[in-house]
Amino acid sequence: MLRSNLEFLNPRNHPLLQDPDSPGLTSLTRGDRMVQRMLISEIEKDSSKNFARQSLKSSDNEHGIGAILKEEPEEVRRWGHFPGIDPHLGFSEFMERFFEHGKCSMRVFMVWNSPQWAYGVRHQRGLESLLLQHPDACVVMLSETLELEAFHEFVKEGSDN
């Protein structure tokens, strides 16, 4: 599925990538082969990291009907950081404890899927404005690209921020 996106790097289909010094249009230049290998390895690395293997087992319940049980993966995913809450809880338990921890007049969920360098002053000022207008708001940022250090000034131990 993702390999079709690499078709634009094929010099047979793209005249600007064709090397006039090559013996034919069927060969890639050394740089093209390096870029192609790098992109393919990135795709394979990311795709294998996103999918965890889960096994399904069948067992008989008291009525004799087979039930399918899903095994939990051994490695527990870290969902976030908040002082006083165990970061290795499941997502639902972490969210329950987070919202029970303080008084939340407003619950805000944000998703950030852009690269970390795209998070700038504009977005930081937006969060500051939200917390200024609603000091009892609880903000949950869901992101795989941002590090927790980006929000160190918003979370302080022993304060209401």
SS3 sequence of the chain: CCHHHHHHHCCCCCHHHCCCCCCCCCCCCHHHHHHHHHHHHHHHHHHHHHCCCCCEEEEECCCCCEEEEECCCCCCCCCCCCCCCCCCCCHHHHHHHHHHHCCCCEEEEEEECCCHHHCCHHHHHHHHHHHHHCCCEEEEEEECCCCHHHHCCCCCCCCCC
116: pLDDT strictly greater than 80: yes
In a domain, 64, yes or no: no
* More confident of the two residues 9 and 50: 9
pLDDT of residue 147: 80
Average pLDDT on 87-108 reads 82
Question: Percent of the chain, pLDDT > 90?
Answer: 0
pLDDT of residue 62: 52
Locate 131 and state its tokens: 């917390």
Instruction: Note whether 91 and 99 are within 8 A (CB).
Output: no
In a domain, 158, yes or no: no
pLDDT of residue 158: 37
Confidence band for 57, pLDDT divided at 50, 70 and 90: low
In a domain, 83, yes or no: no
Lowest mean pLDDT among 28-37, 60-69, 93-102, 119-128: 60-69
What's the mean per-residue pLDDT of the chain?
Answer: 71
How far are the Cα atoms of 78, 117, 143, 149 from residue 112, in angstroms, in the given order? 17, 12, 5, 15
- Quote the number of domains for the chain: 2
In a domain, 75, yes or no: no
pLDDT of residue 21: 64
Encode pLDDT of 31-42 as tens digits.
777 877 888 887
Q: Is the pTM of this model over 0.85?
A: no
Residues 6+ apart with CB under 8 A from 132: none
Radius of gyration of the chain (CA): 24
pLDDT of residue 140: 83
For 24, the domain range is 3-50
Measured between alpha carbons, how far is 134 from 132 in angstroms, rounded to an integer?
Answer: 6
In a domain, 44, yes or no: yes
Instruction: Note whether 102 and 160 are within 8 A (CB).
Output: yes
In a domain, 17, yes or no: yes
Q: Which amino acid is at 100?
A: E
